[in-house]
Amino acid sequence: MSAVVPATFKLISLQNPVFACYVNWTVLLLLKTMFLSIYTAYVRLKKQTFANPEDGPDGRRNVRFNDDDVERVRRAHRNDLENLFPGIIIGFLYVLVDPPTLSTCVLFRAAATARIIHTYVYVKAVPQPARVLCFSTYFMCTVYMAVAILMRVM
| pLDDT digit string, tens, across residues 64-97 | 778 899 999 999 999 999 999 999 999 999 999 9
- 109, pLDDT greater than 90: yes
User: What does the alpha-carbon distance between residue 8 and residue 19 come to, in Å, rounded to a whole number?
Assistant: 11
pLDDT tens digits for range 6-55: 567 788 889 999 999 999 999 999 999 999 999 998 998 888 888 887 77
Point out which residues pair with 50 in neighbouring strands. 63
CA dihedral 117, 103, 87, 89 (to 10 degrees): -140
Peptide bond into 57 cis (omega under 30): no
Kind plus residue range of the DSSP H or E element containing 92: helix 68-96
pTM of the model: 0.87
Q: Which CATH topology does 4-35+69-153 take?
A: Four Helix Bundle (Hemerythrin (Met), subunit A) (1.20.120)
| More reliable by pLDDT, 1 or 94 | 94
Q: Find out whether 77 and 33 touch, Cβ atoms under 8 Å.
A: yes
pLDDT reported for residue 5: 55
Domains of the chain, by residue range, sit at 4-35+69-153
Tallying the residues shown for the chain, one arrives at 154
pLDDT reported for residue 49: 82
Residue 9, C-beta contacts closer than 8 angstroms, at least 6 positions apart: none
For residue 38, give Cα distances in angstroms to 32, 45, 61, 101, 107. Answer: 10, 11, 19, 35, 29
